[in-house]
Structure 1
Amino acid sequence: MTAGTIDANKEILQKIFSEDFWFVIPEYQRSYVWQTDNLTELVDDLVFAFENKPDNDYFLGSLVLKRIKASSYPEYEVLDGQQRLTTFFIMMAVLRDLIGSDQFKQTLQKKIYQEENLLENVPARMRITYKIRDKVEDFIQSHLIAHGGTAKEEELQALRESENVSLENMANATLVLRAELQDKIAAGDLPQFVRFIFNKALFIYVSTDNTEDAFRMFTILNNRGIPLTNADILKSQNIGALASEKEVNKYAKVWEEIEGKHGENFDRFLQFIRTILVQEKARANLLEEFHDHIYHPKAPKQPSLRMGKDTFELIERYNAIYEEIIELQGSNLSNGYKNLITVMRIGLRSEDWIPPLMHYYSKFGAADLERFLKKLEHKFTGDWVCGITPTLRLEAMNSILKAIDSTPANQVEELFKKKELFEIDEDEFVRNIEGHVYKKQFARHLLLKLEYLLSDNTVHLSGHSYITVEHVLPQNPADSSQWKRDFTDEEREYWTNRLANLVLISQKKNSALGNHDFEDKKKLYLQKRIDAFHANKVFIEQHAKWTPDVLRDRQAKIIDLLKKAD
């Protein structure tokens, strides 16, 4: 196959959503999967840029596209970038329904949908056509193309519970984007906000009409990322600030060894260090953050660091800390600490808790380390379960970083006295965990945490590649089963998806358990040793039956355990 022409360019959002681009999401792409955290963080960043840097370009990400030769339109298959592209597709409709100006409404509508014009031989068509297996055409027609469709809250709330992944997440995105935009932008400022994202927000795209080239670009961008120039430039500038050839050779080797160890997560590791030093949410790329907030502080209270030797030594020190307390190579760590870290690394979706933990160890060493970790986990998990936005969760972690800075190194108890740092909304937390949690993202983490809380910690829990949440009382028991005799329909409806009825097992074992009666399921569950989930195994082993009374007692104990800070 001969190589095709490859185009690469940057385009502002209004050009991406114009007659020059029509998009097709092919069958092999996954569903729309963006969650509330992704959406709130995007809106928060856009609003911050709009309010604080309205004259600067705002980078939205990259698109990898394959031109469709047979089309009479400039039409492209989307190989990479469909999640963000779909999010802005939904946002255009939300903004159309929120904004007052008829001119703006018409312009926004044209960005998502082309009206049919028989006289000019123009067909009706959507800006993005979805060929993925989840059928979303009706949703797009009813809630995105139809004026006022994004305001149909009851219909969208019902779709939020859909078994169809794309419908569930698109409905959620519509509701979240509408709420976030209404909350963060005054109605009178919406036209200016739309002008900002139309003309300052931009994508970088690469496209080709050659299938082989297109997939090669997709693979390169996903395997390596767009070349990591920020870290490379940061290294080069710090090498240039060294005083001698001997130092250059020494610290270049240090950097390369650390970079090699972290691999594709090296930028993430450098971001941890940035967070420890700056203690604010990052608003720019890694290089700009180091230059604006670390090397050349904009405010006298912000930290400073000299380029060259100081930077290399700081990175080296925090890498050693990371190895000791995150990768668990330290010799003075308790099994309890190791188990909770293992649970957090498996169960938590975000790693914003890592910088405070590293900074604590840097200042106080191993003193009360597990005690601090318990409080940190309780705060981070509690805010997540309560639905606190990623930005506010990050602010809470930054408050802990600042409190560590202000606490004398020999007075660690003063840090623990600042109870407000670790407080959560306990009533909201309990309300969210005592109901149906099976489909909630935090369910697996809470079950993992129970293993830690119920363990005697004589053994260090090992990581597991496959973990799944299993119902003991099955979702659809056979009419002839013991389950139907032990539970009424109302009791099954009440208990099936609550924490008390859920356990963790290896994925390979899940299919073997199925809808068996409790006695048979218990034998299958216990016939092999499952150390990682010992607490659940012991509980099941101690009961001959699985009834509403057993679940009621178990639920109360679980809630009581999880709501405690330590």
Structure 2
Amino acid sequence: MQDVAQLRIEAAHKKVAEVFSKDYSFTIPAYQRPYAWETTQVEELLTDLSDAMGPESRSDGFYFLGSIVLVKTHGSPDSRVVDGQQRLTTLTILFSLIRDLTEDPVKQASRETYIKQVANEDEGIPEALRLQLRQKDQAFFEKHIQTRGATESLPSTDGQSGAKARIIENATTIRAKLVEMGEDKRSELLRFLLQSCYLVVVEVPTQTAARRIFTVLNARGMDLSATDILKADLLERAGELKEQHLSQRWEDIEVALERGKFGDLFTHIRMIFERDKPRSALENGFPEQVPIFRRDPVGFVDKVLEPYADAFTLSQNDAELRKRFGPKTADLVRSLDRLDNKDWLPPLLLCLRQSNEGKRDDVPDIVFQLERLAYYLFMVRADVNARMSRYADVLDALEPLSEPKPRVSVRDRSTGFTLTQAEAFAMFNALDGNVYLATRVVKPILLRLEQASTDGSAIYDYPTISVEHVCPQTLPNNSQWAEWFSEPEVHSYLLHTLGNLVLLNFRKNAAARNFEFDVKKNQYFAPGNSSAFTLTNEVRAYSTWMPSDIGGRREILLRRLAKDWRLDDTFERWWVAQ
């Protein structure tokens, strides 16, 4: 018979130092989804920790990291993670990077204890990693993250996907931030994380019990989302007489947009009203930042929800955008949609709403400026705070608030839509560099170049679009490639630049990558004797593909983008300065 004490459910808030200790040995069950946090979420975590540490923080000296649900028997460290994998994995990456950036060997060994349990024969404690991912991902995670010194030379994400790509991308992002901090600031961050950051740890004895607790914590029994909570709040404020009518209008919009985009819409509306980085959950912050939601439920649906839902629907309707604003504007909206964030959507929605109401007749010009700004922020890899601050200024330019409110974060105002010379130079520098290894950058920027290379009539909607190097990454011995690129440093410098990259409308053939240039351009780049992409067809016009050819094409493509973004004069100044 099982001891009743072993069946008890425990829940407590614990310091991170207590969680990453001998009391817990975490494993991720095979049925769990893989590690999936994006760099945006990691950036937000680091920013929030930095803000909470600050002297003017409102955190009262501590920071809540959320909850984790474990299947764990009382008294045993073995802990199967039902909920909390993303946080535990990201914290392990953070600890590993801080350890590897620590120069003092004594401190480094001490900091490794948050990643690996040190064996202690006297206490019967074996050496073990604090966290074991799914079996499919653990060997990679241990080799490149958990092993001491591994993060000093992180591998490329080229060829990686899923959890492995996320692990390397996030580790690269965190490492850059930590290096920028310096040793003293990193130590301060580690102390704050261990001593002043808390997790609510829910420990249950069985998998079934764990799932039930997880359901309660997330309101999964009713499938509640932030918008469900907001809907209930709105209807309660409206009263019984208006409840049915408002409920039907709300649900009509939700069905039309689909649940995921409906939730996104509320996030974008909040930004339009708040014009700063959100500091609280959507269900808590929305009523505070959108006052009409609280004081006038019917007015909110009439004047906010339905107009912005119409604008959102229009932003997704390519045919209607072409009809109303022309093909160029529709193409630019499609170009925006290729970016790895949607922070540009609130300004677009405000602009489209104003147009729908007859208050704006310059939508093509606004969309042009917005797309150019978004690509600048995208190319220089501006973090979420920089993006949101800039778009807040753009919103102010589109429609100043009737009652301006102070920003939560004190900062200098930007130039809004307008790119300064320094910003344009920074974008050209990014475009002129190694764009291929920045996996989220290369395809959108090549498609943007393709767009600038046509009259806008072509639409590329292939199930597969891949990026190919013209000059291969590996130069076969005794080949023409080896003769043309006899200097390794020249090959290395030009290999991943825009001038050497083209688009294909089929999956890359590994066996074809090292073809000689004539074979490659006439066979591999021309299936069916034609290529779908202008960029690729242009390469077929070259008789050689030597360093000088790539260098010349580099200038052509950069000038093409500069012209399309109306930055010709600025580009000339940048080009002369190179």
Work out whether the TM-score is over 0.5.
yes
Partners of 2:481 and 2:500 in 1: CA distance: 13
Tell me, yes or no, if structure 1 residue 368 matches structure 2 residue 346.
no
Q: CA 1:169–1:458 in structure 2 vs 1: closer, same or farther (change >3 Å)?
A: closer
Q: CA 1:123–1:425 in structure 2 vs 1: closer, same or farther (change >3 Å)?
A: same
Tell me, yes or no, if structure 1 residue 86 matches structure 2 residue 89.
yes
Q: CA 1:36–1:141 in structure 2 vs 1: closer, same or farther (change >3 Å)?
A: closer
| CA drift at 1:208 | 6.6
Is the deviation greater in 116-125 or in 308-317?
A: 116-125
Asked if 2 retains the 8 angstrom alpha-carbon contact of 1:375 and 1:422, the reply is no
Structure 1 residue aligned with 2:199: 202
Structure 2 residue aligned with 1:350: 341
Q: CA 1:471–1:92 in structure 2 vs 1: closer, same or farther (change >3 Å)?
A: closer
Q: CA 1:293–1:455 in structure 2 vs 1: closer, same or farther (change >3 Å)?
A: same
**In the TM superposition, what are the counterparts of 1:385-396 in structure 2 within 5 Å?**
385-396=379-390
Structure 1 residue aligned with 2:331: 339
Whichever residue aligns with residue 432 of structure 1, its letter is A
Structure 1 residue aligned with 2:119: 116
Is the deviation greater in 128-137 or in 106-115?
A: 106-115
How many residue pairs match? The answer is 528
Structure 2's unaligned 5+ residue stretches are 1-6, 403-413, 567-578
Structure 2 residue aligned with 1:279: 275
Partners of 1:253 and 1:276 in 2: CA distance: 25
Asked if 2 retains the 8 angstrom alpha-carbon contact of 1:91 and 1:177, the reply is no
Partners of 1:168 and 1:560 in 2: CA distance: 33
**In the TM superposition, what are the counterparts of 1:104-503 in structure 2 within 5 Å?**
110-130=113-133, 131=135, 132=137, 134-137=139-142, 143=148, 156-159=151-154, 161=156, 165=164, 168-169=168-169, 172=172, 175-179=175-179, 191=191, 194-197=194-197, 201-203=198-200, 209-210=206-207, 227-242=223-238, 245=241, 247-260=242-255, 261-295=257-291, 306-313=295-302, 314-328=304-318, 329-330=320-321, 331-346=323-338, 348-364=339-355, 367-406=361-400, 421-423=418-420, 425-440=423-438, 441-459=440-458, 461-479=459-477, 481-490=479-488, 491-503=490-502
- Once the two structures are superposed, what CA deviation does each residue of 1:432-466 show, in whole Å capped at 9, x if it has no partner? 2212221113111111110111120134x254443
Asked if 2 retains the 8 angstrom alpha-carbon contact of 1:90 and 1:173, the reply is no
| CA drift at 1:404 | 1.2
Partners of 1:363 and 1:392 in 2: CA distance: 26
Asked if 1 retains the 8 angstrom alpha-carbon contact of 2:9 and 2:205, the reply is yes
Whichever residue aligns with residue 309 of structure 1, its letter is V
Whichever residue aligns with residue 47 of structure 1, its letter is S
| CA drift at 1:278 | 0.9
Partners of 2:189 and 2:545 in 1: CA distance: 57
Partners of 2:36 and 2:233 in 1: CA distance: 39
- Once the two structures are superposed, what CA deviation does each residue of 1:141-162 show, in whole Å capped at 9, x if it has no partner? 654xxxxx6xxxxx85533558
Structure 2 residue aligned with 1:413: none
| CA drift at 1:138 | 5.5
Partners of 1:225 and 1:448 in 2: CA distance: 43
Q: CA 1:517–1:181 in structure 2 vs 1: closer, same or farther (change >3 Å)?
A: same
Is the deviation greater in 372-381 or in 518-527?
A: 518-527
Q: CA 1:6–1:485 in structure 2 vs 1: closer, same or farther (change >3 Å)?
A: farther
Partners of 1:9 and 1:467 in 2: CA distance: 49
Asked if 2 retains the 8 angstrom alpha-carbon contact of 1:434 and 1:499, the reply is yes
Structure 2 residue aligned with 1:539: 538
Match of 1:43 among 39, 43, 46: 46
Whichever residue aligns with residue 469 of structure 1, its letter is V
Asked if 2 retains the 8 angstrom alpha-carbon contact of 1:99 and 1:190, the reply is no
| CA drift at 1:231 | 1.3
Partners of 1:482 and 1:33 in 2: CA distance: 43
Asked if 1 retains the 8 angstrom alpha-carbon contact of 2:503 and 2:533, the reply is no
- Once the two structures are superposed, what CA deviation does each residue of 1:117-158 show, in whole Å capped at 9, x if it has no partner? 222222222311354254444555654xxxxx6xxxxx8553
Partners of 1:208 and 1:562 in 2: CA distance: 60
Q: CA 1:225–1:259 in structure 2 vs 1: closer, same or farther (change >3 Å)?
A: farther
Partners of 2:46 and 2:331 in 1: CA distance: 36
Whichever residue aligns with residue 264 of structure 1, its letter is G
| CA drift at 1:511 | 5.4
Whichever residue aligns with residue 454 of structure 1, its letter is S
Partners of 1:66 and 1:468 in 2: CA distance: 43
Secondary structure of the residue aligned to 2:503 is: strand
Q: CA 1:182–1:384 in structure 2 vs 1: closer, same or farther (change >3 Å)?
A: farther
Q: CA 1:94–1:470 in structure 2 vs 1: closer, same or farther (change >3 Å)?
A: closer
Is the deviation greater in 470-479 or in 22-31?
A: 22-31
Asked if 1 retains the 8 angstrom alpha-carbon contact of 2:38 and 2:170, the reply is no
- Once the two structures are superposed, what CA deviation does each residue of 1:234-290 show, in whole Å capped at 9, x if it has no partner? 111212233663x43332122112222222232222100110111111111111111
Partners of 2:203 and 2:465 in 1: CA distance: 38
Asked if 1 retains the 8 angstrom alpha-carbon contact of 2:71 and 2:82, the reply is yes
Asked if 2 retains the 8 angstrom alpha-carbon contact of 1:157 and 1:171, the reply is no
CA RMSD after TM alignment: 4.5
| CA drift at 1:340 | 1.9
Q: CA 1:268–1:540 in structure 2 vs 1: closer, same or farther (change >3 Å)?
A: same
Secondary structure of the residue aligned to 1:555 is: helix
Asked if 1 retains the 8 angstrom alpha-carbon contact of 2:100 and 2:152, the reply is no
TM-score of the two chains, using structure 1 as the length reference: 0.78
- Once the two structures are superposed, what CA deviation does each residue of 1:283-333 show, in whole Å capped at 9, x if it has no partner? 1111111132223xxxxxxx8863411221211110101111233344303
Asked if 1 retains the 8 angstrom alpha-carbon contact of 2:42 and 2:170, the reply is no
Asked if 2 retains the 8 angstrom alpha-carbon contact of 1:40 and 1:180, the reply is no
TM-score of the two chains, using structure 2 as the length reference: 0.76
Whichever residue aligns with residue 326 of structure 2, its letter is S
| CA drift at 1:85 | 1.2
Secondary structure of the residue aligned to 1:469 is: strand
Asked if 1 retains the 8 angstrom alpha-carbon contact of 2:117 and 2:127, the reply is yes
| CA drift at 1:378 | 2.0
Q: State the identity %.
A: 25
- Once the two structures are superposed, what CA deviation does each residue of 1:180-203 show, in whole Å capped at 9, x if it has no partner? 655996977875564321xxx325
Structure 1 residue aligned with 2:503: 504
Whichever residue aligns with residue 295 of structure 2, its letter is R
Partners of 1:372 and 1:281 in 2: CA distance: 23
Asked if 2 retains the 8 angstrom alpha-carbon contact of 1:43 and 1:181, the reply is no
Partners of 1:215 and 1:555 in 2: CA distance: 55
| CA drift at 1:556 | 0.7
Asked if 1 retains the 8 angstrom alpha-carbon contact of 2:115 and 2:146, the reply is no
